Structure 1
């Protein structure tokens, strides 16, 4: 039996369960230190496997569509941060300062890779361009996101460290394993393709580990005493407003710039989404440990909303998209069927 479109998926349910577990049984002391090492290893393994999985041929094939990629990157790294700052008078009364910092962090993150490509495919968009655009966003985000965070979030970053120091930390923890995976792709790439379940397990497992560790630290620091229920309800509204504006803008801009339907779909899905897989490890590196829980909470909520809304849009557009050849064939087949009757 198929899961209804608007119900949370299994991974989202696991995320919610992890937050509840960390709230009731937070890890602390020496166990927290060991858990921190475990999460670092898991995140490094995650980016190593992503590097081994990413096809260079697919990236080269889509790299020539520079206008599309430029629109996606501007939406991801320019429009979103400016939107988060511009909406501060509206957003600040709805959430706490810590949650608003999380919203700004969300706005600086790169696009998703897997779900952007999957939704583009379902909606019959330009899949090679989606592969290239989403992958480029993810890689550039390693450098751009810390720099943007240092500009738009001046008082929440860990210890007031410089953007370059943060970039270097992310390079060591995320980019180096990714590059190592790319270099070893000729040897292990086929095994990765045959065992996609391993990547999914490491992908989701590493995120759950980081979320548990982050929320444990935040709960030990009194997270839920500082975030009232009204602020959580306000956060839901904030995330929905951000996604609605991003979808509307990418639709409008892609049409005004004269992109065809397939490219419009790619721009909408790649330019309006934010990566939980990249965001959670980055938050762990960029922010002080006690503030990570509040910072990733908006991202977790936005992640679920974007999955539900984009899944519904992709299925609707995919069902509606009929090529001229198929439409002509359908018209020709209809009289023939009547004649046979």
Structure 2
């Protein structure tokens, strides 16, 4: 045989083949986008399989069920108390990103360029005010060996507060003459938006995460065996579910004729603008997570009594804002990311009186979701190599702590044994009297 099983194995494990296989996510995404283009009614919101429930709830719930099964309860509680990271990501996600992008949109609309549709700019503003995405950042942070526990906490907190902050930001940015056409106050009831978002976050995030934690603590051996099985056969359930979520988003956009409602120049502009925004804010997130001046201001650990009180307390307050590498990866993935789940709900709820413009409003949101996932995937191997040394140090530290515990345990056992001749005689006499 010219093509034997040996040749097949050689080709399958060849370095070039491994590189090609590593991009499987992009191949699958391209296939799903083609299917969404020609059969948009299948997975769209309200479509054949009711994508808003089967995928919007089911796929996201499965992702967080996996997180609940694999994450330590103690570590989750520890990351919930990390208020500095929550403050950093919230400030970056809601205030810094939205204010800068709003400035760009004002400049574009004042240029009076007819090639850029004003409703598309309104969609950009709506997109950039949204909180961090529900699924993709958790998966990417996990794949890059970042702090995925902190990422889960950010998803929960960001989307809960985002249901209130995002509509307020949109209202604030549109309360002027430039964007008066996009004032959402004349749309549908905002209470419907809150209800839908709370329902989605509760059923697709809280409940599966809680169930996963319960199963993990009640059936630890079975859970460990299940997680081990997934790792052994490299089954990436989170990535599969993410593909379905994006499939549903593109299906909804194609069904709404989002990409045909604006000019090709406008589509190209949105693609390049979204890519530039994501890359820029990823860089800004890295700079905010690891500000170099903190190392200059606080070069040494303070020892009370050997340094001034000002240095000691300033170190305790400000130095923790220089995050370790695992937390930095989480911040880099969470801060620039924007959720389509809240974005679609916001647009459909608040722009109910502008149905003819829904497609244009959805263009930036759907394209941003796709571009952030594709770009984040490229960062995964780079960040994985960057954080490798820190992970090795953590493993060594954990091993040393385990060895210290064993040593202390052995010492306590030895203390119970007789160490002197008098002690041995006392033990011997007590044993003989007992006999």
TM-score, structure 1 length as denominator? 0.72
- Structure 2, gaps ≥5 residues long: 1-16, 175-179, 295-320, 394-435
User: How far, CA to CA, are the matches of 2:283 and 2:163 in structure 1?
Assistant: 27
User: How far, CA to CA, are the matches of 1:159 and 1:11 in structure 2?
Assistant: 40
Q: Which residue number in structure 2 is paired with residue 109 of structure 1?
A: 130
Q: Does the alignment pair 1:87 with 2:150?
A: no
Q: Which residue number in structure 1 is paired with residue 335 of structure 2?
A: 271
Q: Which residue number in structure 1 is paired with residue 369 of structure 2?
A: 303
Q: Which residue number in structure 1 is paired with residue 264 of structure 2?
A: 229
Q: Which residue number in structure 1 is paired with residue 322 of structure 2?
A: 259
Asked if structure 2 preserves the Cα contact closer than 8 Å seen for 1:108 and 1:148, the reply is yes
Distance 1:40 1:133, change over 3 A: closer
Asked if structure 2 preserves the Cα contact closer than 8 Å seen for 1:210 and 1:280, the reply is no
User: How far, CA to CA, are the matches of 1:4 and 1:298 in structure 2?
Assistant: 30
Distance 1:176 1:310, change over 3 A: closer
Tell me how far 1:271 sits from its aligned partner: 1.2
Tell me how far 1:164 sits from its aligned partner: 3.6
Tell me how far 1:315 sits from its aligned partner: 1.6
User: How far, CA to CA, are the matches of 2:330 and 2:389 in structure 1?
Assistant: 17
Q: Which has the higher contact order (CA 8 A, sep 6+)?
A: 1
Asked if structure 2 preserves the Cα contact closer than 8 Å seen for 1:147 and 1:163, the reply is no
User: How far, CA to CA, are the matches of 2:254 and 2:196 in structure 1?
Assistant: 22
Higher helix share: 1
Deviation string for 1:109-167 (max 9, x for gaps)? Answer: 22235432344345443343233223422343334333333433562649523534422
Distance 1:112 1:168, change over 3 A: closer
Distance 1:74 1:14, change over 3 A: farther
Tell me how far 1:227 sits from its aligned partner: 1.0
Q: Does the alignment pair 1:64 with 2:76?
A: no
Within 5 Å, which residues of 2 pair with 1:90-169? 90-92=107-109, 93=113, 95-153=116-174, 155=182, 157=184, 160-169=187-196
For the residue of structure 1 that corresponds to 2:257, the secondary structure is helix
For the residue of structure 1 that corresponds to 2:283, the secondary structure is helix
Q: Which residue number in structure 2 is paired with residue 333 of structure 1?
A: none
User: How far, CA to CA, are the matches of 1:111 and 1:244 in structure 2?
Assistant: 15
Q: Does the alignment pair 1:241 with 2:276?
A: yes
Tell me how far 1:19 sits from its aligned partner: 4.9
Distance 1:147 1:44, change over 3 A: farther
- With 61-70 and 248-257 compared, the bigger mean Cα shift is at 248-257
Tell me how far 1:187 sits from its aligned partner: 7.5
For the residue of structure 1 that corresponds to 2:256, the secondary structure is helix
The number of residue pairs the alignment matches comes to 317
| Residue in structure 1 matching 2:255, options 203, 216, 222 | 216
Tell me how far 1:104 sits from its aligned partner: 1.2
TM-score, structure 2 length as denominator? 0.59
| Residue in structure 2 matching 1:39, options 48, 51, 69 | 51
Distance 1:205 1:159, change over 3 A: farther
Q: Which has the larger radius of gyration?
A: 2
- Structure 1, gaps ≥5 residues long: 328-341
Tell me how far 1:248 sits from its aligned partner: 2.3
For the residue of structure 1 that corresponds to 2:50, the secondary structure is helix
Asked if structure 2 preserves the Cα contact closer than 8 Å seen for 1:81 and 1:152, the reply is no
Distance 1:206 1:313, change over 3 A: closer
Tell me how far 1:107 sits from its aligned partner: 0.5
User: How far, CA to CA, are the matches of 2:188 and 2:264 in structure 1?
Assistant: 32
Q: Which residue number in structure 1 is paired with residue 34 of structure 2?
A: 17
Tell me how far 1:302 sits from its aligned partner: 2.3
Q: Which residue number in structure 2 is paired with residue 334 of structure 1?
A: none
Tell me how far 1:279 sits from its aligned partner: 3.9
